[in-house]
A and B are shown apart, each in its own frame.
Chain A
Amino acid sequence: MLIYARFHGRGGQGVKTASRILGNAAHFEGYYTQDFPIYGAERRGAPVVAFTRISDEPTPIPERGYIFNPNLIILADESLLNDPIVNPISGLQNSGTLFINTSKPVDKIFINRDDVRIVVEDLIDLSLKYVGKPVLSTSLGAVAAKLTGIIRWVSLEEGVKEELLEIGIRGEMLEKNILLAKACFERVYPTPLPIPKLAEPRKIVKINWMPVDLTIPEIRNVGNTRVRKTGNWRIFKPILNPEKCTRCGICVIYCPEGVITMTDNGLEIDYDNCKGCLICFNECPVKAFNYIREVEAA
């Protein structure tokens, strides 16, 4: 049996750690395993990808590199589901499993495939309940381990412990995470996964010499990042109570993104790009901001 799992989420949600928890659990189960993220330029809140390969065969896993044809996809953030750049379900094998962390029921999830199994759970809710933080490493790792169908609870427990100890989570917090893992492990059930398609041997692409002025990128369009709409990074959304606001301007200066503007009618917030850091909420001297959990993607 080969499990080729691909994790999609946002930086800081715990996708990389989840892929490692799955890798650890498989290792404690006695399987060959690989886990690795894409090392990229994007940051906390930005889309990220990580991978885990597991094999219960007696020989090591033959492949290296990114997984293009997974049989299991773990999506940490539903807002990425239909993002054309992330395209999280690309390459998912016929009859593979797609797990989505969402507060929606499965019949409210729309994708243009009817040959895959979709599993949903609201892991943010569970994580908030058990550990008090919207970090998904443990819950995603636990769900993924269960969905492989070949990992037992004892191995997962070991896997969670080893990974979290390594990143400095101990004591009571570790215990809370174990309880969270157990709850997640018990919530989903596996169905058999298809055999993943192995990648074709790589071709070497020859690149011809080019003059330096053609190979150095130049950007002549200034101030165009606005179109990237980082608003879908948010987990929490700041809400202003205009009645309380004294228009002191402090939040305008402290907002890292510059999405708060002072107008003649008071503050305007560009939710298309607000990343939901909540510095405005934390620093407003009169507590004019509140926040709510983001459920629909911006």
Chain B
Amino acid sequence: MSKTKLSTIKDLLGEDYVVPGTPLCAGCGALIILRLFHKVLGGRVVWVNAAGCVTLMMVYPFAPLKSSWMYTAMACAPAGAQGIRDALDILIEKGRIPIEEDLKVVVVTGDGAANDIGLQSTSGAIHRGLDFYYLCYDNEAFGNTGFQYSAATPYGSRTATSPPTPLIPEGYRGTKKDLFEIWRAHKPPYVATISPSHPMDVVRKIEKAEKYRGPKLFISLSPCQPGWLIDTMDAIKVAKLAVETGVWPLKEAVYGEVRHTFIPRRLKPVEEYLKIQGRFSHLFYPVKRDDVIAKIQSEVEEYWRAVYAREIGKEDAGIS
């Protein structure tokens, strides 16, 4: 499957495999990343999806995809992917379909399915070395059912089930599960984090992943307008800030070896990212919660100190 290399945005303006008219929210970050992912993978794809917002793209009798799609129960999209991969392999082996008609098997789920309900079936599939892609669009909550907290919800976020109250004024008290590290611990050929705000980073990562047989796993930050309480026009702006403040590192791991693909020269204060999102507004009003903001800032800095030390040899390189 040779393809010409995509080296600038202009190379990405060709055929689109997701047509307009989906029922997803105006300004949905998940749709931006899904469209881009599909563009880079090409049209010969079968998606396997567990319940979440993206499922709503398929509302009988409508489908926005030019490719194939199968819906599974929430816990078992990677098991569904195994079934399809096996079926394709057998059909090819028996000569029932030519090898050129092979499809890439791509699981797409939200963070709830990836971190909570579907984690064991993903672990099984990675462990078996299943040849598939996984795209987790991380909107940091159970979006489809009304934005309840998930294991991917960050500390301090308001969700439907972690509202700021007089007793718990900071909102969500837990911490975000480190799905990248959990997946990486299996030492799959490829695992990466991506963001819709950095399309060429996404392109380079998919192109790199394509060279490997086995699990190729992606976690994309996915700004969610009604859940994050942001303006419909701000999905990309928020995603950029997540990267520039260091809240959402862009990185990859090949067989477990980590490398950051974007290292901020100077981290912007996390406050810039938090303050434009309504889900964090209780940290700024009626009283500014400097303690909570400082805690978030120091966790980000702790992470980056290690990265700066390891990857550029100077621990406080980007920390003011």
| Interface majority SS (helix, strand, loop, mixed), chain A | loop
Q: Are A279 and B9 in contact (CB under 8 A)?
A: no
Any A CB within 8 A of the CB of B21: yes
Q: Is the CB of B12 within 8 A of A249?
A: yes
Binds B, one of A86-94, A152-160, A179-187, A220-228: A220-228
Q: A44-B25, A225-B21, A256-B24 are in contact. Are A12 and B226 (CB under 8 A)?
A: yes
Chain A residue nearest to B59 in the complex (CB): A41
Is B66 a contact partner of A168 (Cβ separation < 8 A)? no
Q: Which range contains the number of A residues in contact with the other chain?
A: 35 or more
User: Across the interface, do B226 and A44 meet the contact criterion of CB distance under 8 Å?
Assistant: yes
Stretch from A117-125, A190-198, A268-276 that touches the partner = A268-276
Name B43-96 residues within 8 Å CB distance of A: 53, 56-67
Among B149-157, B173-181, B277-285, the stretch that binds chain A is: B277-285
Per the bound structure, the CA–CA distance linking A250 and B278 in Å amounts to 27
With an 8 A cutoff between CB atoms, is A82 at the interface? no
Would A253 and B9 count as touching, CB distance under 8 A?
Answer: yes
- Asked if B278 and A168 sit within 8 Å, CB to CB, the answer is yes
Instruction: Knowing that A226-B19, A254-B236, A273-B20 touch, tell me 18 more A-B residue pairs with CB under 8 angstroms.
Output: A43-B26, A44-B25, A44-B226, A168-B158, A217-B61, A219-B63, A223-B65, A224-B19, A226-B21, A228-B21, A253-B12, A254-B196, A256-B29, A258-B19, A274-B20, A277-B232, A279-B235, A279-B236
A32 to B226, CA, bound (A): 31
Taking the closest CB of chain A, its distance from the CB of B177, in whole angstroms, is 26
User: B256: CB under 8 A from chain A?
Assistant: no
Contact status A254-B32, CB under 8 Å: yes
Contact (Cβ within 8 A) A225 B56? no
Is there a chain A Cβ closer than 8 Å to B18's Cβ? yes
A57 interfacial by beta-carbon distance below 8 Å: no
**Which partner residue on chain A sits nearest B67 by CB separation?**
A222
Q: Of A217, A227, A256, which contacts B60 at CB under 8 A?
A: A217
User: How far is it, in angstroms, between the C-alpha of A224 and the C-alpha of B19 when the chains are bound?
Assistant: 8
Q: B16 contacts A258, CB within 8 Å?
A: yes
A217–B26 alpha-carbon span in the complex (Å): 26
A263 to chain B, nearest CB (A): 10
Q: Which residue of B lies closest to A277 (CB)?
A: B27
Assuming the A-B contacts A168-B278, A171-B286, are A262 and B13 also in contact, with contact meaning beta carbons closer than 8 angstroms in the complex? yes
Nearest-neighbour CB distance to chain A for B80, whole angstroms, equals 13
A230-271 vs B, CB cutoff 8 Å, 1 = contact: the mask equals 100100000000000000111011111111001000000010
Question: B199 — which chain A residues lie within 8 A by C-beta?
Answer: 253-254
The closest CB in chain A to the CB of B239 belongs to A254
A249 touching B281 by the CB < 8 A rule? no
Tell yes or no: A295 within 8 A of B by CB: no
CB of B108, distance to nearest CB on chain A (Å): 15
For A281, list chain B residues within 8 Å (CB): 233
B232 touches A279 (CB 8 A): yes
27 contacts between A and B (CB under 8 A): A12-B25, A43-B24, A44-B25, A168-B163, A168-B164, A170-B285, A221-B63, A223-B63, A225-B20, A225-B63, A225-B64, A226-B19, A226-B21, A230-B21, A249-B13, A253-B9, A253-B199, A254-B236, A256-B235, A258-B35, A270-B20, A273-B20, A274-B20, A276-B232, A277-B27, A279-B32, A282-B233
Taken together as a complex, chains A and B put the C-alpha atoms of A170 and B281 apart, in Å, by: 11
A-B residue pairs, 3 tightest by C-beta: A225-B21, A277-B27, A44-B25
**Residues of B within 8 Å of A, CB-based: how many?**
52
The chain B residues found within 8 Å of chain A, CB to CB, are 9-10, 12-13, 16, 18-29, 31-32, 35-36, 53, 56-67, 158, 163-164, 196, 199, 225-226, 232-237, 278, 281-282, 285-286
Within the assembled complex, what's the spacing in Å between the Cα atoms of A97 and B305?
Answer: 64
Query: A262: nearest residue on chain B (CB-CB)?
Result: B13
Indicate if the CB atoms of A11 and B278 lie closer than 8 Å: no
- A44 and B225 form a contact (CB under 8 A): yes
Please indicate the chain B residues that have their CB under 8 angstroms from the CB of A46 in the complex: 23
* Cα of A45 to Cα of B22 in the assembled complex, Å: 11
Task: Tell me the A28-69 residues at the B interface (CB within 8 Å).
Answer: 41-46
| Min C-beta distance of B227 to chain A, whole Å | 10
Q: Would you call B20 and A257 a contact (CB within 8 A)?
A: yes
Q: How far is the CA of A284 from the CA of B168 in the complex (A)?
A: 40
Residue A294 at the B interface, CB < 8 A? no
Q: How far is the CB of A244 from chain B (nearest CB, A)?
A: 18
Residues of B near A217 (CB, < 8 A) are 60-61
Nearest Cβ on chain A to B139's Cβ, whole angstroms: 12
Q: What chain A residues lie within 8 Å of B25 (beta carbons)?
A: 11-12, 43-45
User: Which one of B19, B62, B225, B236 lies within 8 Å of A282 (CB-CB)?
Assistant: B236
In the assembled complex, the Cα of A37 lies from the Cα of B117 at a distance in Å of: 27
Are B26 and A233 closer than 8 Å at their CB atoms? yes
List the A side residues contacting B282 at CB < 8 Å.
Answer: 168
Tell me whether A44 and B65 are in contact in the complex, defined as CB-CB below 8 angstroms, given that A225-B19, A258-B16, A277-B233 are known contacts: no
- A223 to B18 alpha-carbon distance, docked (Å): 7
Q: How far is the CB of A207 from the nearest CB of chain B, in Å?
A: 17
**CB closest residue in chain A, given B234:** A282
User: With A and B bound together, what is the CA distance between A270 and B58 in angstroms?
Assistant: 21
State the Cβ distance, B173 to closest chain A Cβ, in Å.
17
